[in-house]
Structure 1
Amino acid sequence: MKVRNTAIAIGIGAATAAGLSLLKVNKDFVVGTTAVVVGAGLMISLKDKNDLSLKGRNYEYFFNRAQDKFELADYEEAILDYNKALELSPTEICLVYSMRGNAKRNLGDLDGAISDQNKALDFDPLYADGYFNRGIAKFKKRDFDGAIEDYSQVLKINQKDSDAFFNRANVKKEIEDMKGACTDWKKAAELGDEDAAKLLEEYSE
């Protein structure tokens, strides 16, 4: 299974909206991570600008420190900092919940991981990584039908997500739906996934 972790650097300046820039990086890490740089904006509606600045700096500090700890596989400490970031955040941010869920998944707390991805999706029902990450946790719990549903939801949001095709294929292989697995590996391969192409060649008749 391919995993998707989100490496995020957050810089909070003035309380204005800023766009999200998404790009894949680090090809050596099972699947490319999603690097998100959030500049300035979280649309914080606090009256006191000094409070806004202090709260923003503290949130930024704990969140970025959690990301550093996650990258070092120090998941327990990362979770503590994600918790603090959520306490300080001006709004419930799906990225924080999803990353905390990934840390819990890596510690073997699959129910906690699913719960956090649910919270991320409550905040943004179109957050594809939430479904993707929840699918991984469900797969590890052997909830194969649930995992397939989550990867299918990712593909409704983005029909060119080769990682979702790849993982859904692997789930189908697990339940011995080889025809369905080969169909998904083929789609992933057409989107440039070399691992999928190798598995397609190995398992297709």
Structure 2
Amino acid sequence: MKLRNTLIALGISAATATGLSLLKVNKDLVVGSTAVVVGAGLMIALKDKNELNTKARNYEYFFNRAQDKFELANYEEAILDYNKALGLSPKEICLVYSMRGNAKRNSGDFDGAISDQNMALDFDPLYVDGYFNRGIAKFKKGDFNGAIQDYSQVLKINPKDSDAFFNRANVKKEIGDIEGACKDWRKAADLGDEEATNSLKQFCNL
């Protein structure tokens, strides 16, 4: 099975830009007593900006540290950092849920992995990695029909996802549907997947 672990490092987030936009003040308004109001507003904006920057930095720190721990197969500690990142995430909540689900999957908690992918998909029903990663967890749990459904959903969203064709083929092979597996391997191979080409040669008499 091909894995899809979204391993990225986050830079300055959109929250920082949002905070900076709070500092835009029309100089023409700073006249007489209005200056006091604008001055107070500027102080609030500065405070909000600092809070947004701090939250964004903390989120990036915990998410990136979780990714590093994931790479080192330290899944339990990665999950703890994903938990912290979830409480701070300004917008990447689907990504964090999905990555925490992958960490749970790799530690053997398949039900927890599926639950996290469900949470990601609750926020965004078109979050393709949620279906893909849930399919892997379902496969490892032995829910082959569920895995096939998830990979089929991936392909509805992105018909050129060779990894989804490849994985769905492997699930079909597992349940004895060699004909269906060969069709999916063929589609993956046509999209440039070398592993699918090898599987075609091995299992499909090509």
Q: Do the aligned partners of residues 65 and 159 (structure 1) sit closer, same or farther apart at CA in structure 2, a change above 3 Å counting?
A: same
Q: 1:7 to 1:75 in 2, by over 3 A?
A: same
Q: Which residue of 2 aligns with 1:116?
A: 116
| 1:41-60 Cα shifts (integer Å, max 9, x gaps) | 79xx9961111111111111
Unaligned runs of at least 5 residues, structure 1:
17-39
1:148, CA displacement in angstroms? 0.3
Cα distance in 2 between the residues matched to 1:93 and 1:7: 15
Q: Which residue does the alignment assign to 1:142?
A: 142
Asked if structure 2 preserves the Cα contact closer than 8 Å seen for 1:128 and 1:157, the reply is yes
In structure 1, the partner of 2:65 is 65
- Tell me the alpha carbon deviations over residues 135-155 of structure 1, each in whole angstroms, 9 at most, x when there is no partner: 000001111110000000000
What amino acid does structure 2 have at the position aligned with 1:181? A
Mapped to 2, the partners of 1:60 and 1:126 lie a distance apart of: 24
Would the aligned equivalents of 1:97 and 1:120 in 2 still touch at CA under 8 Å?
yes
- What's the CA shift for 1:12? 2.4
| Structure 2 equivalent of residue 174 of structure 1 | 174
> Counterparts of 1:28-177 in structure 2 under 5 Å?
48-91=48-91, 93-177=93-177
Distance 1:188 1:9 in 2: 29
Give the 3 Å change call, closer, same or farther, for CA 13–125 of structure 1 in structure 2. closer
Structure number with larger C-alpha Rg: 2
State, as a whole percentage, how many aligned pairs show the same letter: 78
Higher strand share: 1
Q: 2 CA distance for matches of 1:90 and 1:182?
A: 43
In structure 1, distance between residues paired with 2:104 and 2:165: 24
CA offset digits 1:25-77 (Å, max 9, x no partner): xxxxxxxxxxxxxxx679xx996111111111111111111111111111111
2:170 pairs with 1:183: no
Q: In 2, are the aligned partners of 1:104 and 1:112 still within 8 Å (CA)?
A: yes
1:12 and 1:41 in contact (8 A); partners too: no
Partner in structure 2 of residue 30 of structure 1: none
Q: TM-score, length-normalised on structure 2?
A: 0.82
Amino acid at match of 1:87: G
2:26 aligns with none
Q: Give distance in 1, aligned partners of 2:125 and 2:107.
A: 25
| CA positional deviation for 1:88 | 1.6
Larger % of helix: which? 2
CA distance in structure 1 between the aligned counterparts of 2:160 and 2:195, rounded to whole angstroms: 16
TM-score by length of 1: 0.83
User: Structure 2: which amino acid aligns with 1:155?
Assistant: L
Give RMSD over aligned pairs: 2.2
Counterparts of 2:14 and 2:77, CA distance in 1: 29
Runs of at least 4 residues off by over 6 Å: none
Is the CA contact (8 Å cut-off) linking 2:126 and 2:157 kept in structure 1? Answer: yes
For residues 121 and 51 of structure 1, what CA distance do their matches in structure 2 show?
29
Matched to 1:72, the amino acid is L
Shift in Å, 1:90: 2.7
